[in-house]
Amino acid sequence: MKLPKLITTFLSSALLLTLTSCDTKELVTVKEDATLGVEFQIQNVTAEEAKVLLSIDSAPQVIDLRTPEEFATGHLPGAVMIDFKSPDFKTELAKLDTSKEYLFHCKSGGRSTQSLDAWKELGFGKLHHLNKGMLSWTEAGNPTE
């Protein structure tokens, strides 16, 4: 196999793995470098699991990464909007307490998956990612505000 074709095959496989990994429920733990000194944990959850998670006393704060227009059409109860498309996204994310637990989502999972590097870089420790985003939440018949 020629090197360019091998590289293309590898990159295609990596992309496929990335896209399908959003639907897993496993806990992924990545040890960060010594400069951050934190463990980054993210758990992908279904809409049903998120509903249960949000019903407990120590429920995580919901962070909605959609645009203001999308947020206005309905959002998870108690959600805080931080627009991923905004040039100030990372600055706004940095205002959150990194020691707290968060459940974050977008419309279908694309933007929220793209935001992972920012969460890690800022030193967040424990996150829950809503698989398939707001679409899965509303398809499951869960309440919105």
Question: Which domains does the chain carry?
Answer: 25-139 (3.40.250.10)
41 pLDDT band, cuts 50/70/90, is: confident
Q: So what's the pLDDT on residue 37?
A: 55
Q: So what's the pLDDT on residue 106?
A: 97
Q: So what's the pLDDT on residue 39?
A: 67
List, as one string, the DSSP characters of the chain: --HHHHHHHHHHHHHHHHHHHTT---EEEEEPPTTT--EEEEEEE-HHHHHHHHHSTTPPEEEE-S-HHHHHT---TT-EE--TTSTTHHHHHTTS-TTSEEEEE-SSSHHHHHTHHHHHHTT--EEEEETTHHHHHHHTT----
Q: So what's the pLDDT on residue 66?
A: 98
Q: pTM for the full model? A: 0.75
Judged against a pLDDT cut of 50, whether residue 102 lies above it is answered with yes
Judged against a pLDDT cut of 70, whether residue 101 lies above it is answered with yes
